[in-house]
Chain A
Amino acid sequence: MTATLALSCTAVLLAVAPLAIIIGRSSSATPVVYGLCLVASVVAFVAAVVHLLGASVQVRVTLPLGLPWLGAHFRIDELSAFFLAVVNLGAFAASLFALGYGRHEDAPSRVLPFYPAFLAGMNLVVLADDAFTFLVSWEFMSLSSWALVMAHHRDPDNLRAGYVYLIMASFGTLALLLTFGLLAGPDGGYAFADIRNEQPSAPLAALVLILTLVGAGSKAGLVPLHAWLPLAHPAAPSHVSALMSGVMTKVAVYGFVRIVFDLVGPPAWWWSMVVLALGGITAVMGVLYALMQHDLKRLLAYHTVENIGIIFIGLGLALAFKAHGMAFAAALAMTAALLHVFNHSVFKALLFFGSGAVLTATGERDMEHLGGLIHRMPQTAFVFLVGCAAISALPPLNGFVSEWLTFQAILLSPQLPSWGLKLLVPGVGALLALSAALAAACFVKAFGITFLGRPRTPVAARAHETDRLSLAAMFFLAALCLVAGILPGLFIDALAPVVQAFVGARMPVQIGVDWLSIVPIAESRSSYNGLLVFLFMVISGSLAAAAIHRLASDRLRRAPPWDCGYPDPSPVTQYSASSFAQPIRRVFGTVVFRAREHGAMPPPGDQRPARFEVELRDPIWDALYAPIAIAVGFAADRLNRLQFLTIRQFLSLVFAALVILLLVLAIWP
């Protein structure tokens, strides 16, 4: 039932895409397309949630599409229901936001047809139940999102972003193609049910893990395969950026979980070490990159990399516990990871919407040209602040809960018997703590430079509040951040069937705990109550305000800023994004990015201003991508000669190729 409903919604989305091409020129196209997407995603979301909470009957649907002897298999189980809910919640919010935001789009016909197709692609990936359908949907999702990245294709930066994205996406799909080739075994059973029955040998399973990490990891943005992500996500229109960052990376996480926790069979002990190490490095590198940015949307995209790292730390811990038969600990770690999947999809979408609102209001993405927007856009500023606090893992909002659960899972890991893990896990814990602290620093910068202070340019000074529908979408997500933060027990319980199905145990039921606390193991061990913390803060804050205003003074007068007696009216004397990050750049950046600062002072008498420049190198681009690009360029140069051969040389080349091919065939065993 639910699978059919979800598939029908997907079919509706697929039908909306050609409709958008037909009516693309008319003025009503934007509301019609986004309205239909909104309805379809709400229906699919409700179906997914009902499936997750209600009777977990597995439903299979086989459609006569695709390979003739295989057909297209679809199935909805606990995991796909959860990810379906995440996808469609994001799709709902993005469609609502786009109902308002889409009106400011210059070329709607470049966005409208691909948007529903992109949504349909993501839905199909989580519903697919055979390798062929999975790969086709995956590639469909990649290509439709690529088309959205190229929506504003006149910008040379976007062209480059689209190019890099296309290469990386194809590379990732290739890795997944090989993964499924290995998994399917010699008989070619491509349905997931057949794959599950087939147990690959240990070296093959290890190869599958590596290929999955490459394939799904590159889509999710695991370091060092993240290079496309901060280019492509910001290039798309903001509601699509929100979907790519908040939701599409989660579809990649789904792919990883589906293959590694489900299809490939029981994990070996060392798998978790690879995943944990990659997760830890990704978390810290992602946030350090983000701190160095002054483009608001790129900063947010780099932060997605960080959060993917946190999710993979949780998944790595779950793998470690599962491999050692510690099912309860594995359930805790997996719940933490999945809860972070949900949380991140909520607050990252919110933050991208906020950046979209800023972009429409000012036409600027560069924080160095913004400032003071809190006066002109108070409501956007408020919801953006909620998103910033949530992503910085501040209680009582939702980001804190999933990070807290991850810390609790780390604290269970000394019981792991293997020495490698014993030495690795504390290090990963330190990396996680470091990335959380740096994330807070980064969002002080993102909010402080963009919304606080004085406007740095006239466009920032003339900004105006965004439209009502966009605000509604943002307020909805902000409210969700608070609800998931103060009532995390509900969400943990909803995740229990997923976790039960994949690691064989679940966290204790949280809904019956006194005062709605969450207690992962036992109350004497650890507990957290977001609701009470929130109430205490509200009560003590208002108590203080009431007491002071009533008993002491409530008078207020306005005066010029004090600034130790020398306030300078020019807005360039404020701290900028780059000067705010300077201390952190000096502490971490000199090692990681080989950051150098050059100050150029003109000679005395010269009227030119002094210049200050910061030079940063991207270590991963330099070490990994640049050599590949150079090698490809070198090979292309050499092969270029083939274009200028004479006809005799061409013929002998063809002959030689034929002889070599026949020789190989003759020698092949």
Chain B
Amino acid sequence: MALIVDFAVQGAQMLLVLLLAPLLTGLVRRVKARFLRRRGPPLIQPYRDLMRLMRKDVVLAENASWLFRVIPYLVFAATWVAASLVPTFRTGLLFSWSADLIAIIALLGSARFFQALAGLDVGTSFGGIGSSREVMIASLAEPAMIMVVFTLALIAGSTQLSTMAGYMLSPEVGLRVSLGLAALALIMVAIAENARIPVDNPATHLELTMVHEAMVLEYSGRHLALIDLSASLKLLLYVSLIACLFSPWGLARPDAGAEALAIGTVSYLVKLAVGGVLLAIFETSIAKMRVFRVPEFLGAALMLGLLATLLLFVSRSL
């Protein structure tokens, strides 16, 4: 019986992230539009876009290979699995131990690896420009992220996200310099990984500034829908990750009853909304950087993460 409930909760989480992801994207777009004094699309516009894309024919480039057609499913699968392993409303889900935070990062790395390959498959110059810039960004964002993981793992004594979130909820955490540095680095990495302003602009099709959009330029129909959904899932993943690590309040414990689960769900929704609004505010208040300023931005994140880890190596209480 307990196993069935656990299965149900795990399944609920998988569905929850899948269903909420486009909503978060819609919220960010809407709030951004309001800040720019436009009316903006309705919140459910991303769902409509996805449905329409799924129903359309795929227009495939003549020389696209089998890999090009498989990659959207691979990217989606890796991102979805990663997103379902991050605690959202409850910690200690049935399969939460099957991959720790390092593995989740690596899963996202798999998704990116294949997406970058897709950019090169048709052999167009835009695909190439997108892929080569994406791997340059990733080559700095990933180590920065690993340093953030190191910091958190050293504080919590674990790389399991559930244990980390549980530790962050407990009073032993306290205020630490290293945590502050790690939070800052994590936010910087999240911005870069999700191709948000100032690193990349998700709304642009201005050729020379595109990174993510250039990479997926040749996709259409259901393939594009899956890629877009994966991008939304990734944004949701990072917001959930930041929420469960740095504002874990309301998160239900593994042994919690229905009431705690309800509190957990409501607080998760609130956190998502706050995260989306903050992201929109941040994006409207800053200009996009030149591509070759991005390494400096991410280098700063890497240094912050390294500094935080070093502090913990020097003293457990910093």
Contact = CB atoms under 8 A, between A and B. Distances in A.
Interface residues of B, number: 90
B125 A573 contact: yes
Interface string B75-98: 011101100100000000001011
Interface stretch (B1-9, B169-177, B216-224, B277-285): B216-224
A574 B207 contact: no
B21 to A, nearest CB: 13
Interface string A408-452: 101101100000001101110110011011101101110111001
Interface in A557-571: 557-564, 567-568, 571
B150 interface: yes
B58 interface: yes
B143 A410 contact: no
A476 interface: no
A51 to B, nearest CB: 33
Contacts of A560: 61-62
A28 interface: no
Contact of A429 (B57, B121, B147, B220): B147
Given A393-B106, A404-B103, A433-B142, A548 B222 contact: yes
Contacts of A282: none
B34 interface: no
B99 interface: yes
A426 B150 contact: yes
B217 A574 contact: no
A430 B306 contact: yes
A525 interface: yes
A448 B306 contact: no
Interface string B127-153: 111011101101111110011001001
Contacts of B120: 444, 448-449, 452-453, 575, 580
B268 interface: no
Interface stretch (B38-46, B108-116, B242-250): B108-116
Contacts of A548: 54, 222, 225-226
Interface stretch (A89-97, A189-197, A256-264, A370-378): A370-378
B74 interface: yes
A553 B221 contact: yes
A449 B305 CA distance: 33
A556 B117 contact: no
Nearest to A547: B54
Contacts of A561: 61-63, 122-124, 218
B136 A587 contact: yes
A536 B11 CA distance: 12
Contacts of B58: 553, 555-557
B222 A528 contact: no
Interface stretch (A11-19, A79-87, A538-546, A618-626): A538-546
A429 B309 contact: yes
B189 to A, nearest CB: 12
A448 B59 contact: no
B103 A528 contact: yes
Q: Which residue, B74, B95, B106, has most C-beta atoms of chain A within 10 A?
A: B106
Nearest to A551: B54
A445 B135 CA distance: 9
A427 B62 contact: no
Contact of B125 (A378, A434, A541, A563): A563
Q: Which residue, A413, A449, A525, has most C-beta atoms of chain B within 10 A?
A: A525
A384 to B, nearest CB: 11
Interface string A572-585: 01110001111110
Contacts of A436: 142-143, 146
Q: Which residue, A400, A441, A447, has most C-beta atoms of chain B within 10 A?
A: A441
Contact of B55 (A395, A533, A538, A553): A553
Contacts of B121: 374, 448, 452-453
Given A430-B143, A559-B61, A561-B63, A545 B73 contact: yes
B60 interface: yes
Contacts of A523: 97, 160
A582 B136 CA distance: 9
A449 B131 CA distance: 11
A538 B80 CA distance: 11
A425 B154 CA distance: 13
A536 B81 contact: yes
B100 A440 contact: no
Given A372-B63, A394-B113, A429-B150, A532 B142 contact: no
Contacts of A536: 77, 81, 84, 95, 98
Nearest to A554: B222
Nearest to B299: A587
B128 A422 contact: no
Given A575-B129, A584-B139, A540 B109 contact: no
A556 B220 CA distance: 10
A553 B309 contact: no
B116 A448 contact: yes
Contact of A583 (B57, B136, B302): B136
A552 B54 contact: yes
B311 to A, nearest CB: 9
Interface string B197-240: 00000000101000000000110111001100000000000000
A586 interface: yes
A394 B60 CA distance: 28
Interface in A376-400: 378, 381, 385, 389, 392-395, 400
Given A400-B106, A580-B128, A423 B310 contact: yes
Contact of A433 (B143, B158, B295): B143
Nearest to B70: A541
B314 interface: yes
Contacts of B123: 371-372, 452-454, 561, 571, 574
A529 interface: yes
B312 A528 contact: no
A537 interface: yes
B299 to A, nearest CB: 8
B67 A437 contact: no
Given A517-B97, A560-B62, A561-B218, A374 B67 contact: yes
A536 B77 CA distance: 8
A526 interface: yes
A643 interface: no
A444 B117 contact: yes
Contacts of B80: 540, 544
A136 B83 CA distance: 56
B142 A437 contact: yes
A474 to B, nearest CB: 17
A540 B81 contact: yes
B226 A544 contact: yes
Given A374-B65, A414-B312, A583-B291, A537 B78 contact: yes
A21 to B, nearest CB: 45
A452 B67 contact: yes
A532 B93 CA distance: 14
Contact of B99 (A395, A453, A540): A395
A529 B113 contact: no
A520 to B, nearest CB: 10
Given A567-B124, A579-B128, A394 B56 contact: no
A524 interface: yes
- 4 A-B pairs closest in CB distance: A575-B128, A453-B123, A448-B120, A541-B77
Interface of B: 51, 54-63, 65-67, 73-74, 76-78, 80-81, 84, 95, 97-100, 102-103, 106-107, 109-110, 112-113, 116-117, 119-129, 131-133, 135-136, 138-143, 146-147, 150, 153-154, 157-160, 163, 205, 207, 217-218, 220-222, 225-226, 291-292, 295, 302, 305-306, 309-310, 312-314, 316
15 contacts: A375-B65, A392-B109, A422-B314, A436-B142, A444-B120, A448-B121, A524-B163, A540-B76, A541-B77, A558-B60, A561-B122, A564-B126, A573-B124, A583-B136, A583-B292
Given A444-B116, A533-B107, A583-B132, 6 more contacts: A395-B103, A452-B120, A571-B123, A575-B120, A584-B132, A587-B292
